[in-house]
Amino acid sequence: MNWCPKCQTVLANEQVTEGECWRCHSAVEKRDLTQWYLKITDYAQELLDDLDQLDGWPERVKQMQANWIGRSEGAEVKFTLCDKQGNAPENPTEDDLITVFTTRADTLFGCSFFLLAPESPILKGLVEGTEYEAAVMQVVEDAKKITAVERAQGNKEKHGAFTGRYVVNPINGEKVPVWVADYIVADYGTGAVMAVPCGDQRDFEFAKKYDLPIIPIILGDDDPLFEQLKDEQGRVVTSVDWDSAMEAEGRLVQSGKYTGLTGGKHSEGEEAIVADLEAAGRGKRKVEFRLRDWLISRQRYWGNPIPMIYCDKCGLVPVPEEDLPVRLPEDIDLSAGETLATHEGFAKCTCPKCGGEARRETDTMDTFTCSSWYYLRYTDPHNTELPFDSAKTNRWMPVDQYIGGIEHAILHLLYSRFFTKVLRDLGMLDFDEPFKNLLCQGMVLDEHGDVMSKSKGNVISPEEMIAGYGCDAVRAYILFMAPPDKELQWNEDGLAGMHKFLNRVWRMVYDLVGKADEDTLYQPGASDAEAAAARKVLLRERHRVAGKVVDDFDRNNFNTAIAAIMELVNAIGDYLRKVGPEQRAASVDEQALATEVANVLVRLLAPICPHMTDELWHDALGCEGSIHTQEWPEFDPEKAKDDEVELAVQINGKVKARITVAADADQEAVKAVALEAVQDAVAGKDLKKVVVVPGRLVNIVAK
Partner RNA sequence: GGGAGCGUGGCGGAAUCGGCAUACGCAGCGGACUUAAAAUCCGCCGCCGCAAGGCUUGUGGGUUCGAAUCCCACCGCUCCUACCA
Nearer to RNA, 22 or 310 (CB): 22
- In angstroms, the Cα distances linking 297 to 309, 362, 411, 483, 640 are 14, 9, 16, 39, 60
Q: Determine if residue 514 is left, alpha or beta; phi over 0 gives left, psi from -120 to 50 gives alpha, anything else beta.
A: left
Rg (CA), the chain: 36
Q: What is the helix (H) or strand (E) element at residue 284, kind and residue range?
A: strand 283-289
Rounded-to-10 torsion of CA 657, 663, 664, 667: 20
On whether the CB atoms of residues 54 and 440 are closer than 8 A, the answer is no
Nearer to RNA, 185 or 334 (CB): 185
Q: 10 Å Cβ neighbour count for 326?
A: 17
For residue 254, the minimal CB distance to RNA (Å) is 19
- How far, in Å, CA of 225 to CA of 219, rounded? 8
For residue 6, the minimal CB distance to RNA (Å) is 19
For residue 385, the minimal CB distance to RNA (Å) is 39
On whether the CB atoms of residues 514 and 591 are closer than 8 A, the answer is yes
For residue 661, the minimal CB distance to RNA (Å) is 11
For residue 650, the minimal CB distance to RNA (Å) is 7
Nearer to RNA, 391 or 693 (CB): 693
For residue 296, the minimal CB distance to RNA (Å) is 18
Nearer to RNA, 35 or 103 (CB): 103
For residue 14, the minimal CB distance to RNA (Å) is 8
Rounded-to-10 torsion of CA 224, 226, 228, 234: -100
For residue 698, the minimal CB distance to RNA (Å) is 8
**β partners of residue 693:** 697
CB-based burial of residue 58 (10 Å sphere; 0-12 exposed, 13-18 middle, 19+ buried)?
Answer: middle
Q: Among 672, 664, 674, 702, which Cα is nearest to 686's?
A: 702
Nearer to RNA, 160 or 434 (CB): 160
Nearer to RNA, 30 or 359 (CB): 30
Instruction: Name the H helices within 96-132.
Output: 123-127
Nearer to RNA, 290 or 300 (CB): 290
DSSP state of 450: P
> What is the residue type of 426?
L
Q: Among 321, 78, 305, which Cα is nearest to 190's?
A: 78
Cβ neighbours for 408, distance < 8 A, ≥ 6 positions apart: none
For residue 326, the minimal CB distance to RNA (Å) is 32
Residue length of the chain? 703
Nearer to RNA, 423 or 526 (CB): 526
Nearer to RNA, 453 or 652 (CB): 652
